[in-house]
Structure formats: structure tokens, C-alpha cells
Structure 1
Amino acid sequence: MSDAERLAEPLQGHCLCGSVKITLNAAHAEVDVCHCGMCQRWGGSMYAGIEADDFSLSGEEHISTYQSSDWAERAFCKKCGSNLWYKFLPTGNRTFLAGLFKLPSGLPIKHQIFIEEKPDWFDIAQESPKKTGAEIIAEAEAAGFSFE
């Protein structure tokens, strides 16, 4: 996807209790899906997120973060427990949980990653590129990131 493929309208979202409100400006017009074990334990199943470089938050006093690995931080609402975002620490890029927003119909899935860890009890109907964890880590290492 090129950088030009962004949603024209801002996305407004919030946690379950409404204490944390998020506005995504020029969000990527696709959904990221991760099946890694950490994402499954964090959210109960796969992680579906939408990336945005430009965002604003309200209710920051209700946000807590947890560093789940050397390269990842996850945020949640302290009041209701809703998961809010995944942050890739080496770059600062965030993907926000897709379920926090009313997304436009027809958004494509960018890719499904850590596909080998996907439980066999569900499948995603939409065809999308699939990558193993080894492929994702190799791509990140080739881009100069380290996962020690």
C-alpha cells in the first residue's frame, strides 16, 4: 500500500466505557491482522488493527501501557480494560484496535502475520496475503530492527 491510500475522513473511536476517546486522522485504508501468541493472549483471539500516524486522544489519565516485549508496548483503558493500541517501539508506529471504530465497509486486510500460530477453529473469509512469524522477523531485521 502506498502512503497515499488513507481514509479521507477522520475515524472517531472509544473504549467500552467511553473514558478514552481516539481520533485517527488519515488512517491507513486497510486492516492489519496478527495471530501471534501474545496478541491472542492480549485480546482473546487475533489482533485486528488500523494504523495511523496522526491521532489525538482524550481521557489520557485512564490509559495504562504494558511493555509486552523488547519491541512492543500495548495500551488499555484502566477503567474498563479495553485494549487500545499496539506500539512498535523501534519506530513508534501504532496500530489501534479496529473494534474501537466504526470502519467503512470493504476495507481490505493488508496481511495476516504469524499465520502459523492461528488457531484452527476459525478462518478469515477475506483473501489476504499471509506471512509466517519468521518472514515478518526477517523483513524487520532486513530493515535494521533487532529482536534479541
Structure 2
Amino acid sequence: MPDASCLCGAVTIAIKGPLERLSACHCTQCRKHSGHYWAATTMPLTQITYSGPVTWFRSSPAAQRGFCATCGSTLFWKPDGQDHMSISLGLFDTATGITPGPNGLTHIFTASKGDYYDLPPDEAQDP
């Protein structure tokens, strides 16, 4: 699978195995953290290796968000006490092979989406 990095290259991420649980999150926290809705893949922690200056921010009582301490790139969402975390899809340096649609990217928390955009009706959605 492709490797990933932040905007400045200070943080690098290696993925072992196929990308899983692909989502575009429209919740208020993800929109504020990323500047729009946040597209991510969720992977088991055992399949993710990263290095570089990651800073963690506690965004809720249940999760933290990771970003590059050098350039500020949005990197991760990690729920407490879980064996997985989400990685920004925009970080991948090569093609991910992901396509929109019922078996690809799913839009989640769509009831919280911004009023300045519409969702494609043919893409999977979970309110």
C-alpha cells in the first residue's frame, strides 16, 4: 500500500495492509479540524508506523487528533482505548485505489454537514 507524509515531509507514515473503513466525516469537529469535511481511512494500530514531530490535541473526552508539529497538517484521529486510528486520505503520496460509491468512500455524520456544499446522491451516506 502507499506510504503517506505531511505537507512538509517531517512526518512519514507507513501502512501495512490494505486501506480499510474509508469515510468522509462531516461532523463539526472534523470540519473545524480540517477546514472542510475530513476524508480518512481507519486502520488497526498494528498496521500503522509513523515517525516525525506529531503533536496530539484532545478534541473531546473520547478522542485525540494528531497533526504535524512543523507544518500543521491534519494527520490522525485516535479514539481512546481503541486498537485503531484514522489517517487523512490526503496524506498518501501515491494512488490509494479508492473510488466513491457504495463499496468505496462512505460519507458519515452527514446531518452535521456544512450548508455550503451538497453531497453526491450516488455516494453512500450515513446520517
TM-score with structure 2 length normalisation?
Answer: 0.84
The structure 1 residue matched to 2:99, chosen from 96, 102, 106, is 106
Tell me how far 1:104 sits from its aligned partner: 1.5
* Gap regions ≥5 residues in structure 1: 1-9, 132-148
Q: Deviations over 1:12-50 (max 9, x none)?
A: 000000000001111434521211111111011111101
Given the alignment of the two structures, is residue 129 of structure 1 paired with residue 117 of structure 2, yes or no?
no
Q: Deviations over 1:80-117 (max 9, x none)?
A: 000110001131420100000132242611x3222111
Given the alignment of the two structures, is residue 58 of structure 1 paired with residue 54 of structure 2, yes or no?
no
Change in Cα spacing, 1:27 to 1:124, as seen in structure 2 (3 Å) is: farther
In 2, Cα distance between the equivalents of 1:76 and 1:58? Answer: 12
CA RMSD of aligned residues (A): 1.7
Structure number with higher relative contact order (C-alpha < 8 Å, ≥ 6 residues apart): 2
- Aligned pairs for 1:24-63 (under 5 A) are 24-53=15-44, 54-59=47-52, 62-63=53-54
One-letter amino acid of the structure 2 residue matched with residue 81 of structure 1: G
Aligned length: 119
3-state SS, counterpart of residue 61 of structure 2: coil
Partner of 1:120: 115
**Larger strand proportion, structure 1 or 2?**
2
Could you list the runs of 4 or more consecutive aligned residues of structure 1 that deviate by over 2 angstroms after TM superposition? 27-30, 123-126
